[in-house]
A and B are shown apart, each in its own frame.
Chain A
Amino acid sequence: MGARLDYLKRALLRLWRGIRQLSGDDAYERYLAHCAARHADATRLSRREFFLRQEQQKWGGIKRCC
């Protein structure tokens, strides 16, 4: 029983992580992780700066279809 509950919990957690990633909710955390992995010494954007820049960039091209 415990194992099954545990499995369910992990599945729900994965779903939640998927939803966050799909919607871009965790984009800033992923950006920080990317910085930490690749450019340890570079300055990081603040959450707000990052979000605005990302939105600006997202809508620079064709992002939605008919």
Chain B
Amino acid sequence: MKNKTLSALIWAGVALLGATALGGIALNRGESINALWFITAALCVYAIAYRFYAAWIASRILLVDPTRATPAERLDNGRDYVPTNRWIVFGHHFAAIAGPGPLIGPTLAAQFGYLPGTLWILVGAVLGGCVQDMVTLFFSTRRNGRSLGQMARDELGAIGGIAALVATLLIMIILIAVLGLVVVNAMKHSPWATSTVAATIPIAMLVGLYMRSIRPGRVLEGSLLGVILLLLAVAGGGWLDHQPGLREWFNHPGLPLAWCVIAYGFAAAILPVWLLLAPRDYLSTFMKLGTVILLALAIVWLQPDIKMPALTRFVDGSGPIFGGTLFPFVFITIACGAISGFHSLIASGTTPKLLSNERDIRMIGYGGMALESFVAIMAMIAATVLDPGVFFAINSPAGVVGKEAAAAVAKISSWGFPVTVEQMSLLAQQMGEATLFARTGGAPSLAVGMASIFGSAFGQGMLAMWYHFAIMFEAVFILTTLDAGTRVGRFMLQDVLGNIWPRLGETSWYPSVLLSSGMVVAAWGYFLYIGVIDPNGGVNILWPLFGIANQILAAIALCVATGILVKSGKLKYAWITALPLTWLVVITSSAVWEKLTSPDIRIGFLAAANDLASKLAAGALPPEKAAVAPQLIFNQRLDAVLAMFFACLLWLIVADMLRVCTRHLSGKPVPPLSEAPHHPTRLEEAWARD
């Protein structure tokens, strides 16, 4: 009894602290607010949601059963099905779900001010993203670790399965293009960044050779070697930057760098995995976890002040980084970190094959996403501790603020975010760059934010080193996503092509490998190319498309989950997934609607295409713009078709789910639940936990 009272008191204290911190963030106007408030609010929200909401879902709705044997136990084969300690599974799961997305989205969304993004990251995660990850993990565990696509086919029907496959392939293509663009924008005319990123390729190969031939399977030794070499590459880039002849080798504009990224993607897709993909992934995982921990420690230690206002004038849709009003675009821009459909692919398939007990599902599914959401909060902090003027100067594309530094600072200052040319050149000099203007995409401003946080925590003398360390860190795991995504896209395409001609489906037949890899690379390479030649910075077009695609994948996962809940007789509780699903349908549909019909050329695809076409016809474009105009016009129209296709896909699967549910409720036959039968667990408690 005493314990119960104590626990109630503690949780009431956590709730009060969280509410105070959230209230402080939300109601603060005019004066700067400390980053520690964000950390406090976030931790309290996650703790309460995890303790009460997640526990309630697990015990009352999913009916998690600790006595039931998991697929890892029943199908244990020592390779992919292996019962594993829950902390290890948590580590694997988190390393898999946390990519560059939660770092980039919040940085871009900071153009609305710190408040909208922060609230959406918190609310979206605890009511949407975490629930999606947890229920998908649970349902996949009950189905022998089946993938989302297979579950959609089994539980809803063929339409669901095909929709999941198509959405996954498309999201992959848009994702890779936009990530490639972020890397290109970080590397253009920066010999230091370019040479460091280039050096990661031979380093990864060396590590690959080490792990394959010199010391087979010694992952930690190889990774340690690689991490040391990567740090040396960052330092070496700084030296190279000061060598007059040598630096020109790595000093390139965006377009040649984009071709290099495309060539790299193709090479990575056809080379054996041990040579490039696998070792690069080991390095990026170590870098990622290390940097995230370092950033958290630095923020807590340093307690920087947030300089961005709570809300900016750009909530009206005139934002320089991407066009569009607060609703719905903040919800589209921050996908990863709040709710990310991609996670459902990890939570089904890989992770459930490692679970040793169903009771770990809450910690791994819900907790893993809460941690990723926390990473997004830290990215938001790193972006908003910058002077707003500096933030906009780094992130605004030249097409919006002008190519000349003087014009750009005048424009940005006129928005009410004062910044000077001297301030920007001093900052660029401190970071070891020629210029920081128009580095749209989030990575460079995040790197400046991280460098200033790390610099204040560990010494200002190393600012340039920290900046390039942050760029290298982001580039390494963006390129890992690029490799892995191209490879997965290739497998999916081969799967489809195999239906037309069986030989094309053989994953080891070289002509088919070349053909399908080429097709996938050509698809994302096209969007990357257009993004680079677009003077408004392709991020304005590509990031919303990626957000829409990712949210639609989340909607598919939530449709599958809602369908299963209704079919298992839990209609009363189906709102736990139906509520976030409804919200996703509302935001993605209205985002697509705006993207199609808005007369604002920075938002509407068709408006932009028509505007450019009439200017081209009237001869009102300068020659260098007129040369690329036809390609840009075609691309805007293609994007419009793509957005419409996404919306149709979403409505199709929602309608299919509703059809299955109403049939079930009116007693008509539906595809039966495909849950594997109950077997009691034999794993001894001590063995499973140790």
Residues of A within 8 A of B (CB): 18-25, 27-28, 30-31, 34-35, 38, 47-48, 50-52, 54-66
Across the two chains, which residue of chain B brings its CB closest to A37?
B78
Decide if B19 is an interface residue (CB 8 Å cutoff): no
Across the interface, B274 reaches (CB within 8 A) one of A23, A31, A55, A61, namely A55
- Contact yes or no, B88 A51, CB < 8 A: no
Decide if B122 is an interface residue (CB 8 Å cutoff): no
Interface 9-mer from B43-51, B299-307, B345-353, B562-570: B345-353
A65 proximity list for chain B (CB < 8 A):
96-99, 101, 336, 340, 342-343, 345-346, 481
Interface 9-mer from B276-284, B414-422, B598-606: B276-284
- Contact yes or no, B99 A63, CB < 8 A: no
From A31, A52, A63, name the one whose CB has the most chain B CB atoms within 10 angstroms.
A63
Across the interface, B88 reaches (CB within 8 A) one of A21, A52, A63, namely A21
- Contact yes or no, B343 A34, CB < 8 A: no
DSSP class of A's interface residues: helix, strand, loop or mixed? Answer: helix
Which 6 A-B residue pairs are closest in the complex by CB-CB distance? A34-B78, A51-B217, A66-B101, A48-B216, A25-B219, A59-B273
- Contact yes or no, B220 A25, CB < 8 A: yes
Across the interface, A60 reaches (CB within 8 A) one of B99, B218, B491, namely B491
The contact string, 1 if C-beta is below 8 Å from chain A, for chain B 128-172, is: 000000000000000000010000000000000000000010000
A55 proximity list for chain B (CB < 8 A):
273-274, 278
- Contact yes or no, A52 B277, CB < 8 A: no
How long is the Cα–Cα vector from A50 to B211 in the complex, in angstroms?
Answer: 12
A59 proximity list for chain B (CB < 8 A):
273, 277-278, 484, 487
- Contact yes or no, A63 B484, CB < 8 A: yes
Task: Tell me the smallest distance from the CB of A29 to a CB of chain B, in Å.
Answer: 10
- Contact yes or no, B79 A48, CB < 8 A: no
Decide if B91 is an interface residue (CB 8 Å cutoff): yes
Task: Tell me the smallest distance from the CB of A55 to a CB of chain B, in Å.
Answer: 5
How long is the Cα–Cα vector from A31 to B335 in the complex, in angstroms?
Answer: 38
A25 proximity list for chain B (CB < 8 A):
217-220
Decide if B175 is an interface residue (CB 8 Å cutoff): yes
Task: Tell me the smallest distance from the CB of A52 to a CB of chain B, in Å.
Answer: 6
B550 proximity list for chain A (CB < 8 A):
66
How long is the Cα–Cα vector from A27 to B354 in the complex, in angstroms?
Answer: 14
Please, could you name 10 A-B residue pairs with CB atoms under 8 Å apart, sorted by A? A23-B219, A25-B217, A34-B78, A48-B212, A55-B273, A62-B350, A65-B98, A65-B336, A65-B345, A66-B175
- Contact yes or no, B87 A28, CB < 8 A: no
- Contact yes or no, B220 A20, CB < 8 A: yes
A51 proximity list for chain B (CB < 8 A):
211-212, 216-217
